[in-house]
Structure 1
Amino acid sequence: MRSALAGAMGRGSGSPPDSTLPDLRRFRAALTAYFALDGFVFAGWVVRIPAIKEQTHASPSALGLALLGVSAGAVLTMVLTGRLCARFGHQPVTVGAGFLLALSVALPPLTHSALALGLVLLVFGAAYGGISVAMNSAAVDVVAALRRPVMPSFHAAFSLGGMLGAGLGGLVAGHLSPARHLTLLMLVALAVAALGARPLLRCSVPTAERAGAGPREDAPGMTGRAGRLVAVLGLIALCTAYGEGALADWSALHLSDDLGAGAGLAAMGYSVFAGAMTVGRASGTALLERLGPGRTLIAGGALASFGMLLGSLAPSVWLALGGFVLTGLGLANVFPIAIGRAGALAGPQGVAAASTFGYGGILLGPVAIGFLADWFSLTTALLTVAVLAAFASVVAWATRHAVLPEGT
């Protein structure tokens, strides 16, 4: 009998029945558009944070507290979304969260105080957390139905959407006010959400269990063996997502302050990292089919660790940028693998739990790096990214027979 991993992440043989292929194609295309929408909207908001800070007259500390609204809303909603998906299905929750995300991105320019900004960001964060869990839960079902490890392709769409959102946002930032920019972003997002809603709601895609992934273990209560395995997967996701958050906020400062790069060259730090992640995720399905999820995850953590050692300790900007590229390639598929396996084990609640761990790592990274940079140095602080990536690789290797029983 096929294991849960073979259906949800492994290199399963066979193909879905011909009668389901058109629905699966439409569903997959619409879900991919929602992943891209998520990244596009979030990046569009991020590039306008400096302008929103000026508009609200917030001090750095007040802005930091307001921005925690995104984190708080996302983390609190993730657990609830897992339950909503289990009760109502992934598709309607994904569509509802998509429309809420589109509408809420236009709210920050309407605020004129840090308190008001924090409150509307709670709504934005709730939508962001909700759509993340619902989309990934739906993607687990697509992976199982197709019997191919296509989860990285969805996350590649998210990364690509983020790159486009940040790039376009940077281009219009000098020409449009935050209110006009984010209103236009809202209209585009609503159009994409509306176009994708019909195939997501009408196409029939079996759940991972009915698609042949095998029974989920302890799905209702996340207890017992499945709960422990999901916790391990969440730990792996946290350790690697820590690097994503750290590089997003600190790579440019490392290049400029520690290596003397100019503003333009320093800005390339996160760009090359994000670009490498996009490429890595776009090729992730082929990699998983060739190596299997276990080897891909273990090797990815090791490559990211080596890349970040180079990125942190390199004596020149170009070597550091090369290290960031290797880090992005290494981290690219770790999060999708962990989320996919958690969904195979425990359904939407597994996705919610692992996602909460993972996004917790993204939030923890920048804060931890800041404190460590004050206590030691930024170079030393960035080495923690390498340490945690190596730790994730070791944990994956040590638990490979239980967590990733195939393809290791």
Structure 2
Amino acid sequence: MTASVAPLSPTTRTPSPLAGARARGAVTLMFAVNGLVLGGWGGSLPSLRDKLAIGDGQVALMLFAAGIAGITSMQVGGRLSDAVGARRITLVALPLLLLTAAVLALAPTYPVAVAGAVLLGLGNGAMDVSMNAIGVQVEVARRGPVMSSFHAFFSIGNLLGAAAVLGLAAGFGLSGGAVVTPLLLTLVVVGAVVLVVLARIAPVAAPVVHRSSDGARTRVPRAAYVLGIMALAFGLSEGTAVDWSSIHVTDVARVDTTTGAVGLVAVSGFMVVIRLLGDRLVTRFGRRAVVRFGGACAALGYLTVTLVSPLPLLVAGWALVGLGVGMIAPQVYAVAGHLGGGRVLAVVVTFGYASFLAGPAVVGFLVRHLGIHHAMAVPAVLCAGIVALAATIPREDRDLA
């Protein structure tokens, strides 16, 4: 017996506000502001380290605390999104995320910063699941794919948040620990403005009921765990690209660290480009084909950076990785949402999030034992596995209803 998820049924004929441009714009804002705050947080970490005079081990502990809090919050947020509507959860989680930024901006001591990191995990975990849940409902109402564009604006926000560090340094002559407070407080103000706008225009997302035809509560479908394995693979692959691409280019091509950063630029830039184009590709070829091509593209990119050394070829390889992994997450999350709302999204996003956080550390272990050049073969194999698992994705979203 399958779950009855009425709000996600693409056969519903009643016109919905979720289908309008206003709803799409609101969800785009959710993804963008979430990416902006997280990008600012990531970009401010070196400055926060200097301000609090802490070491890399303490920074790692702070990130670990945020990760554990985020994973916990995803489970609660996913179920609450189904129970009371994802809009409410998003509009509670975003202020918590902004409070986090304020706490971190003003943190006078390391324990306060750790508390701020825990708040960040709680706010981001709930918002991550709930905004994806709303995105899926908008997609159903519009009868066409939009999830890729939402994730594109998350990536754009992330880049802008990280770039704000450079902007403050260049525009006001700030450096070191002096950057973190004005940066994060600026993001709080921007986020507060977005929150006011969202409170007025964010669409109402209906609760999702997980009941069979005889009224019994249904279990999480097994397909959710297959999607979770795919999320595990692309989470590690994306996390490795974000955290290791610049170091890889620097060490393998034997260039300076500034030039080596072109590896991450290639990954991030091509992720944004493909996500902006992704909805058109899904409309034309279907989710299964897009995920398969994304896995193959990322696998080829990782294979390239494993085998070559010249700088142009390395950059081309990392561009292929960005192109590939950028296609996969929006589609896997969309399928999860169509399959069973926030509850299934919580499972899949948790797999991806945990892998994104832990994967780079695993790759770091491999780097020490295999060398940085050959360690990249591991994500290549995982991306190839995504190509095989993509066969489980239905050709049409209506097959999930």
Of the three residues 258, 264, 281, the one matched with 1:287 is 281
What residue is the counterpart of 2:263 in the other structure?
Answer: 269
What residue is the counterpart of 2:382 in the other structure?
Answer: 388
Q: Does 1:343 align with 2:343?
A: no
What residue is the counterpart of 1:79 in the other structure?
Answer: 75
Of the three residues 162, 167, 188, the one matched with 2:163 is 167
What residue is the counterpart of 1:298 in the other structure?
Answer: 292
* Percent identity of equivalent pairs: 29
What residue is the counterpart of 2:97 in the other structure?
Answer: 101
Moved more, 37-46 or 57-66: 57-66
Take 2:213 and 2:298, find their aligned partners in 1: how far apart are those partners?
A: 31
- Offset from partner CA, 1:178-235 (integer Å, 9 cap, x none): 11221111111111121122111xx4555689xxxx9999999662xx5210010011
Q: Does 1:326 align with 2:320?
A: yes
Moved more, 123-132 or 171-180: 171-180
Gaps of 5+ in 1: none
In 2 relative to 1, CA 118–340 (structure 1 residues): closer, same or farther, beyond 3 Å?
same
**Equivalent pair of 1:43/1:165 in contact (CA under 8 Å):** yes
**Equivalent pair of 1:66/1:115 in contact (CA under 8 Å):** no
| AA matched with 2:352 | G
What residue is the counterpart of 2:124 in the other structure?
Answer: 128
**Equivalent pair of 1:217/1:345 in contact (CA under 8 Å):** no
What residue is the counterpart of 1:182 in the other structure?
Answer: 184
Gaps of 5+ in 2: none
Q: Does 1:355 align with 2:349?
A: yes
Q: TM-score, normalised by structure 1?
A: 0.88
Of the three residues 193, 200, 221, the one matched with 1:198 is 200
Give the CA deviation at 1:23.
6.5
What residue is the counterpart of 1:368 in the other structure?
Answer: 362
3-state SS of the aligned residue for 1:106? helix
Q: Does 1:58 align with 2:54?
A: yes
| AA matched with 1:27 | A
Take 2:205 and 2:224, find their aligned partners in 1: how far apart are those partners?
A: 24
In 2 relative to 1, CA 220–87 (structure 1 residues): closer, same or farther, beyond 3 Å?
farther
3-state SS of the aligned residue for 2:222? helix
| AA matched with 2:187 | L
**Equivalent pair of 1:241/1:362 in contact (CA under 8 Å):** yes
Give the CA deviation at 1:404.
7.6
What residue is the counterpart of 2:222 in the other structure?
Answer: 228
What residue is the counterpart of 2:106 in the other structure?
Answer: 110
In 2 relative to 1, CA 272–218 (structure 1 residues): closer, same or farther, beyond 3 Å?
farther
Q: Does 1:37 align with 2:33?
A: yes
Take 1:140 and 1:287, find their aligned partners in 2: how far apart are those partners?
A: 17
Take 1:76 and 1:219, find their aligned partners in 2: how far apart are those partners?
A: 29
Aligned positions, number? 391
In 2 relative to 1, CA 147–220 (structure 1 residues): closer, same or farther, beyond 3 Å?
farther
In 2 relative to 1, CA 363–216 (structure 1 residues): closer, same or farther, beyond 3 Å?
farther
**Equivalent pair of 1:35/1:158 in contact (CA under 8 Å):** yes
Moved more, 128-137 or 314-323: 314-323
Take 2:128 and 2:215, find their aligned partners in 1: how far apart are those partners?
A: 19
Take 1:320 and 1:403, find their aligned partners in 2: how far apart are those partners?
A: 36
In 2 relative to 1, CA 21–167 (structure 1 residues): closer, same or farther, beyond 3 Å?
same
Q: Does 1:260 align with 2:288?
A: no
Give the CA deviation at 1:66.
1.6
In 2 relative to 1, CA 77–385 (structure 1 residues): closer, same or farther, beyond 3 Å?
same
Take 2:264 and 2:74, find their aligned partners in 1: how far apart are those partners?
A: 27
Give the CA deviation at 1:67.
1.6
Q: Does 1:137 align with 2:133?
A: yes
3-state SS of the aligned residue for 1:227? coil
Give the CA deviation at 1:362.
0.6
**Equivalent pair of 2:18/2:138 in contact (CA under 8 Å):** no
3-state SS of the aligned residue for 2:221? helix
Take 2:211 and 2:27, find their aligned partners in 1: how far apart are those partners?
A: 24
Give the CA deviation at 1:115.
3.2
